[in-house]
Structure 1
Amino acid sequence: MTQTVDLNADMGESFGVWTLGNDSALLDIVTSANIACGFHAGDPDVMAQTMKLAVEMGVGIGAHPGFPDLRGFGRYRMHLPLPQLANAVRYQLGAAQAMAKVAGGHVRHLKLHGALANMCSENYEMAEACYRAALEVDSEIIIMVLAGTQQQKVVEALGCAYAAEIFADRAYNDDATLVDRALP
């Protein structure tokens, strides 16, 4: 097993007339990018532009699916039936793959966003539904998981390629999940 450090950031989160972040500056620094797929942030034009820049700069492209929550930036917990959740992941990954292909690249990894990721770090069945859905679309995709959580247990059970991540700028609970941003 090869161990490397991948400096990774979320981007492609602007949409419509709203600009969020400086993707071109971040792409000078990171080795891979989690690009929003339109549900929690981003839109088709932003996705296309961000993926084009990532390809030009040699940055690995990742799909960053989230809950359908533009207003809350994907940070509101939603309790969706697992089949509906799986379809949302498939849909967003498919959109990311199409945009990456047109940009001359490919989606190499998937990382869940915000509340979806947080809930999957706590809930095995939810994580399994999301990751199985992604693997049905692309059996070779690398799943990025929060190290030491239910997410990691799922990918290990599935036997798929995965990368375990840590956040340098966040606090952790004793069970390896992230401390809520609202708490000090």
Structure 2
Amino acid sequence: MAERRFRIISPEAAELQPVLSGLFDEYRQRYGDYFAGHTEDDLPERYVAPEGLFIVLEEAGKIIATGAYKSYRGQTAEIKRIWTDKALRGQGIACCVVRQLEQHAIDAGYREMYLTTGFRQPEAVALYLSLGYQPGFDIHRDFEEYSRAPYDGRLRFTKTLVAPACSARKGVNAHV
């Protein structure tokens, strides 16, 4: 297996655009126009230091996973753009990406992570639960119920970040 490395990247980098387009295509395939017309304060500059971060995981020079965070509120960062190449899903790569983001957020002074995922992403729900994220919704309900009023289709999670007593932080160029 080729070496895998994390790298910080500009959210506007040309090499990232096909990956993001593919991610948004996946959302459209999964949700149709459910979220159409939803506007989000998702300006690229929100994903750069010191308040944000966009990372990619590369293998043999190819982007195989992405993740980002941006400032949400006070000492809370919001996770966004978690994506793994379809051919590599189910191998724990997204878990590594989220953990890398959490460590960078701790280093940047954040104390909590917030995120939303859609009601048709049970694999994302399972990922965040496995990483200790606390759901802001009833995990025992049919997630489709959250697509109807008074809900907005988003499943919310939070997690308190705790800096390890002795950090063995893997750097941006860490092997995975």
TM-score > 0.5, shorter chain as reference: no
Task: Give the TM bin, normalised by the shorter chain.
Answer: 0.3 to 0.5
Greater relative CO, 1 or 2 (CA 8 Å, sep 6+): 2
Give the alignment's TM-score, normalised by structure 2: 0.38
Structure 1 or 2: more strand by fraction:
2
Richer in helix (by share): 1
